[in-house]
Chain A
Amino acid sequence: DAGVIQSPRHEVTEMGQEVTLRCKPISGHDYLFWYRQTMMRGLELLIYFNNNVPIDDSGMPEDRFSAKMPNASFSTLKIQPSEPRDSAVYFCASRMAVHYNEQFFGPGTRLTVL
């Protein structure tokens, strides 16, 4: 398996623009997670899905952030409008239902908002 795939790997945009991050989880994994990592706040869980259904989005910072999982092999995290404080590395991770604490992380998307 290719592992968790994220695109783009790097994104530079200007404040106010819409940003869409993409993730393809490992085939057969039931859970998908979106994280954000910054030096100041560390690695934070934003939202996670189980069988394509959002379970907990309490980590989403504000309404500018939204996430979808239209099918088992694809998820998006959208920021609209983007702000400089959204600059971070965004990770997607997935896991099987029975491997409760073993998540597989993607390579991340480094987002820079100017």
Chain B
Amino acid sequence: LAKTTQPISMDSYEGQEVNITCSHNNIATNDYITWYQQFPSQGPRFIIQGYKTKVTNEVASLFIPADRKSSTLSLPRVSLSDTAVYYCLVGFNVGYSTLTFGKGTMLLVSP
């Protein structure tokens, strides 16, 4: 499994755009990049997944450069409710795929 490295914590203010970058230098050709969000006292929640270039949904955008050795989760105009831990995961997109969670990035949004 490709190892991922992301900042332990980040601080932001309401209304700002937040970009969380994850490094995965040994990503394999078949690996996908997946991000999860975990609020306090809740289970993780799938946010977004991508393979290359850019993916956007109603929650976030995921930017993946051509070499795929890193990825950036972009949260537009964060609010207090976006305070959570964000996990970057890399792995196969196959039937027996499992998730390996690292420490994640603790995002704290202040008023």
Contacts and interface: CB of A to CB of B under 8 A. Distances in A.
B34 A101 contact: yes
A113 interface: no
Given A45-B98, A45-B100, A56-B98, A101 B43 contact: no
Nearest to A93: B43
A87 interface: no
A42 interface: yes
Q: Could you say which interface size class chain B belongs to?
A: 20 to 34
Interface in B86-111: 87, 89, 91-104
B79 to A, nearest CB: 22
Given A43-B87, A50-B95, A100-B97, 20 more contacts: A4-B43, A33-B98, A42-B103, A45-B98, A55-B96, A56-B98, A91-B43, A93-B43, A97-B95, A100-B92, A100-B95, A101-B89, A101-B91, A101-B93, A101-B97, A102-B34, A102-B49, A103-B46, A105-B42, A105-B45
Interface of A: 4, 33, 42-45, 48, 50, 55-56, 91, 93, 97, 100-108
